[in-house]
Amino acid sequence: MNTDAQLRFNRRKRPLSADGRLHDHLRGQQRKRRGARVLVPDCFLVPPPEAKSADFDMWDYIRNIPDRLRLDNGLRLLKGWVRASKDVPQDPSKDVPQDLAWGNGLRLLKDNDVKPGRVVVAGKWKVDDPVKVALKASAPREEAKPCWKDLHEKTKHNDKRLGEIPVKVDLLEKTLEEQRKKAEPPKEDLSQFFVPLTAEDEKEVQDCLYGNGSSSKVLVLHEPSNIEVSRGKIRCLRPHGWLNDEVINLYLELLKERGIREPKRFLKCHFFNTFFYKKLACGKTGYDYQSVKRWTTSRKLGYELIDCDRIFVPVHQNVHWCLAIINMKAKKLQYLDSLGGHDPRVSKMLARYIVDEVKDKSNKKIDISSLTEESIDCIPLQGNGWDCGMFMLKYIDFHSRGVSLSFGQEHMEYFRKRTAKEILRLRAD
């Protein structure tokens, strides 16, 4: 090897310390990346066959796998299943230039074409508990004395007219305070969302979820929709269960009846069941409007979708529940994923659907370019591998009321019990 080639070869090598060892800061990140690849064996990259069961318990499954895979209550394992089902990189923002990575891949998502069916994970969003934020903001603070008051005390003896300044300032502050109160939106009453269950309700729910009896025994029959929920089906509302179609669809029917019962209290919404998007997106060429054309006739619904404020579409991503919202008033398409993901294919599919639907039922034309896709980057996210279905239902519940998503992972156990109670009573509060 000649001298120049040897110099170029040696220039690519890392300089070593005097003892010939690499410093920890030079090899730590690389060692961490290698370790992350080894932590999840190939046998856990796909969901097990029992995950298709209606009473699948995620915690029972992860209890029998290595400790390192259940440190985060199966959250990392679920994310791996979702990514593997769509064959996408774990974090696309890590493989792009720094000037494109500032938005955790959101800017890259807008500027580049995405193949149909791919889910782009938008990174880790920091979501604060709105209740805690509100309490922190309302805490009393020690106010500093305005500097003009010190100057006024020192100079007011020079001119008597300076004594009028505090009176004028007080008058202006009162005027500004009145204007602020008028401009502030009314405070949301969150008490209705977290009403404690009575002792009678607790006993009924406990017996329903854990009591003895045949799992095939029908506990609830909703006659208008002909949905029946057996003891085995409703057990998915136990703390670690994955929600099934029957429980989700029955709860959506109860939300629909709630809106009809109290139209002034809730927005005018339409709730599609869990089979709608599967039917719409699973035609020979993907999009298939004809297969769902008869789902929304005026004779069945009594209204047209163009008259609704919001349309809710549950989306099942193989092993994970997400929610799509067609906001008819704001002309926006929203996608809420409790894992912080995004699927542009869903928005494109629903944009085409609502254009065809309005044209067919109302004989009106909607410009598809007027429907904007909104990325909601501040939503409550799940902290385990089994609460995605419950998060989706509460997204729908809160949005149908027109209020902010003021809940978090710590409320999921309560929401599971409350949902079981409402299903047993066939009435959503």
Q: Is 333 a domain residue? A: yes
Select the more confidently predicted residue: 335 or 369: 335
Q: Is 282 a domain residue? A: yes
Instruction: Report DSSP state, residue 71.
Output: T
Residue 176 banded pLDDT, cuts 50, 70, 90: confident
Instruction: Report DSSP state, residue 222.
Output: E
The C-alpha atoms of residue 424 and residue 237 are separated, in whole angstroms, by: 12
Enumerate long-range contacts of 346-351, CB under 8 Å, 24 or more apart: 346/277, 346/313, 346/315, 346/322, 347/373, 349/277, 349/280, 349/281, 349/286, 349/287, 350/313, 350/324, 350/326
Active-site option among 240, 269, 308, 320 = 320
The one-letter amino acid code at 268 reads K
Q: Is 375 a domain residue? A: yes
Active-site option among 208, 388, 397, 411 = 388
Q: Is 192 a domain residue? A: no
Whether 74 and 385 have beta carbons less than 8 Å apart is answered as yes
**209-247: string of b/e by CB count within 10 Å (b at 16+)?**
beeeeeeeeebbebeeeebebbbbbbbbbbebbbbbbbb
Select the more confidently predicted residue: 367 or 146: 367
Q: Is 67 a domain residue? A: no
Please identify which residue in the block is written with the tokens 């990392």. Answer: 76
pTM over 0.75: no
Beta strands in 130-193 (DSSP E): none
Whether 107 and 100 have beta carbons less than 8 Å apart is answered as yes
Q: What is the pLDDT of residue 97?
A: 43
Residue 168 banded pLDDT, cuts 50, 70, 90: confident
Tokens found for residue 25: 């800061």
Tokens found for residue 354: 């609502």
Active-site option among 201, 337, 343, 387 = 337
Give the CA angle between residues 103, 104, 109 to the nearest 5°. 80
- Identify the helix (H) or strand (E) that includes residue 372: strand 372-375
CATH number at residue 320: 3.40.395.10
Task: Tell me what the pLDDT averaged over the chain comes to.
Answer: 77
The C-alpha atoms of residue 25 and residue 229 are separated, in whole angstroms, by: 57
Of 89-103, 135-149, 162-176, 195-209, least confident by mean pLDDT is 89-103
The one-letter amino acid code at 320 reads H
Q: What is the pLDDT of residue 35?
A: 44
User: What is the domain extent for residue 316?
Assistant: 263-409
Domain count, the chain: 1
Q: What is the pLDDT of residue 183?
A: 66
Query: What pLDDT digit, counting tens, does each position of 28-87 carry?
Result: 444 444 444 444 555 566 777 777 665 677 777 777 776 655 567 778 778 878 877 765
Tokens found for residue 127: 């979501």
- What is the three-class DSSP state of 366? coil
Tokens found for residue 261: 């019962």
Q: What is the pLDDT of residue 165?
A: 75
Q: What is the pLDDT of residue 174?
A: 84
Whether 290 and 333 have beta carbons less than 8 Å apart is answered as no
Whether 236 and 423 have beta carbons less than 8 Å apart is answered as no
Q: Over range 130-154, report the average pLDDT.
A: 62
CA distances from 158 to 108, 146, 162, 163, 234 (A): 64, 20, 8, 10, 81
Q: What is the pLDDT of residue 63?
A: 73
Residue 121 banded pLDDT, cuts 50, 70, 90: very low
Residue 357: pLDDT over 70: yes
Q: For this structure, is 388 an active site residue? A: yes
> What is the tally of helices (H) and strands (E) in the chain?
16, 9
The one-letter amino acid code at 188 reads E
Q: For this structure, is 337 an active site residue? A: yes
Residue 37 burial (C-beta neighbours within 10 Å; 0-12, 13-18, 19+): exposed
The C-alpha atoms of residue 118 and residue 116 are separated, in whole angstroms, by: 6
Whether 263 and 398 have beta carbons less than 8 Å apart is answered as no
Q: Is 93 a domain residue? A: no
Name which of 372, 274, 283 is nearest 316 in CA terms: 274
Backbone phi, psi, residue 162, to 5°: -65, -20
Select the more confidently predicted residue: 100 or 368: 368
Q: What is the pLDDT of residue 71?
A: 62
Residue 260: pLDDT over 90: yes
Q: Is 405 a domain residue? A: yes
Identify any residues that bridge with 322 across adjacent strands, giving them in sequence order: 315
The C-alpha atoms of residue 147 and residue 166 are separated, in whole angstroms, by: 13
Name which of 285, 305, 302 is nearest 293 in CA terms: 305
Q: Is 115 a domain residue? A: no
